[in-house]
Structure 1
C-alpha cells in the first residue's frame, strides 16, 4: 500500500455513515484516516479478521468471497455498492479481494463509532472538550488507543472534561515506587523509563514507554502502593486522571466481571481459558484446571506469550489483581473477563 495522502472531506459526501457526521467531527476523523492504493489481486481482509478498520472502495472493484472461495458480491467505487463500509461486522464474515488496482479509504472503526455517538447524543460539543487541554489534537490521539475506544462514549465525554495536562522534564520522576496511587497517566509525547528498586542492588530496568502508553492503573485498581518508578527520558507531555474518576469512568466499564459458573461454561466449551495472575508460590498451592500462570508484576513484559485469538478469564484470590490485569489486557487488544469474587476455596 502507498503512503497515506491528505483526504478531502468532499470525498465522503456519499459515503454512509460518514456523510452523517458533523463537519468538525468528520475533519477530526479524517486526520487519522488513510487513502490507500491497493494492487490487483491483494486481499484486503480474510474471514475471521477483526474489523478494526472501516473500509470504503473509492475507485476500482472488490469481490467478497465465502470460506469456500465463492464470490458473493462485487463492490465498485463510485457506484451504490461502494457507498457503504465493506463487510464491517467483526469478526469479518467474508474475505475481500481486489479485482484490479483499488483505492480504499481506511477509517478507524472505533473512532467512527465514537464520533457517531457523540454527534447523535449531542451531549457535549467538541469545542467544549477542547478547552480541557492545551493540545488541540490530544482527544484524537487518545481515541486511537484501544482502551478508550472500548469505553462508553458518555464516559469518554466526562473523562475528557476531567483529565489534566501535565509535563515532565528529562530525569523528572512522574511516579515513585512505594508511593500511594493518585493518578492514571497517558503519554501524549516524549518517552518514559520504568524501573523497579531492589534491596541492596541497582534498580531493574523494566520497560520504556512511548506515546500512547498508559501507566499507573495497577495501584489505583488494587489499592496498593506503586510497584515501580516512572521517569521521563525526554521532554514528556501527559494527560492524567484522578483515582476516583479513573475508577468510575474507565475501570468499571472495562472490568467485565463473570461468575464462576459462567466462566466454567466458557472454559469447558473451549471459548475461553483461565489466566491466574497470582505469584507462582500461590499458584503452586492450588489452581483451576488448565490455568496459565502469569503473575501481574510481569504481565506487561510477557504479554506476548498469551494467545490473542482467545478469551481469557483472569483470576486471583480476591479479584483486585485480576481487575488490574484485565485492564492491561484490554489496553493491548485482548478479550478478558474478571472472575467475580476471586478464586473459589480449595476442595
Structure 2
C-alpha cells in the first residue's frame, strides 16, 4: 500500500512539473531543450506515444535551425523508444542538407549586399565534419553514431585509453586535464555543447593524451573508427572529408602551436592548410635519401620515422626518432642544398607534404619564418 501511495504522489509531482515545463515552452518557443525535457517527463510517467511525438518535434526543430548535434541526440532517443523508425536518419540528413543550402544562399546574398545588415538573420556556423558530407553519407554517419550519458565525476575517457573514436558534446560541459604520476592535476580546457574532442588520438592512431571528466550531467555522441572505415568502403569520398576535418582540427592546431607558424592569421593558416597533401608510406620505406634534392617539408600525421646519416665507413648514425606532430625536411628547403640525412619509416606513416614552391611563397610573405628556421639550423649545427 505504501508503494501505491508513493507512486501516486510522485505521479502528481511529475504532472505538475510537466505542466510547468509546457508553460515555459509556450513562453520560450525557441528553447528546444524544454521540448526534450517535456519528452523525458512524458516517458517517465509512461506516456510513450506522447513522448515520441514531442521528441520528433524537438529533433525537427533542432535540425531546421542548424543544431544537428542536438537533433542526432534526440533521434537516438526516438529510436530507443521505437526501433521501427528506421528512416529517421534519412529525414534528419535531408532536413540538415536543406538547412545548409539556405545558409549558403543567405551568405551569398549577404556577400552580394542583397540583404541589409540590420535585416540579416544570425547564421549558425557550419558543423565540422558533418557539413562536408553528402546527404546519403551524413545519414549513414548519423546511423552509426552512439549516444552515451555520463553523470558528473564519471570519466568519459582517461589518459592512456585507446584513441579509437571522435566525440562530440550534445549536452553538458566537460573538463580536459592531465595528472602526472604523483603530481597535481593540470586543467587543459573546458568544453561544452557542440564541441569535439579526441580527434588527435583518432587520426594519429595513438592513445588518449588526457582525461575527460563531466562537470555536470553530460551527453556525448561517439563515432567509432571501425564504423567510419565501413562507411568509407561504401562511400569512398568520405575519406576526403575526413582529411579536411584532420586539416581543420588537428593540423591547424599543430600550426598554431608551432613556432614556425604562430604569426599566421587564421585565414593565412587556412590557405596554408589547403596546400598540404597526404602521402602514405609502409614500414621500412625510405621517405628521404641523404644527398637528394630538398623539394618538400613533411609533418607526421600518423606513425613514426627515423632520421639517420651514414659516416665515411658506412656505419649508420641515428639522429632522431620522430612521431605524430613532428616535422622534417625543412633544412634543405632553407639552404637549397641536398638532404643532409635520410628518413626511414619505422611504423606505417601518413605524412602531410608541403611542396617547395608553396614553402618558398610562405618565406616570401613571412620573413619571420625564415629567421626562425635559420636560428633552428644554427642550433643544430652548434649541437
Higher helix share: 2
Give the TM-score band, short-chain normalised: 0.3 to 0.5
Name the larger-Rg structure: 2
What is the TM-score normalised by the length of structure 1?
0.44
The structure, 1 or 2, with the larger RCO (C-alpha pairs under 8 Å, 6+ apart) is 1
Larger % of strand: which?
Answer: 1
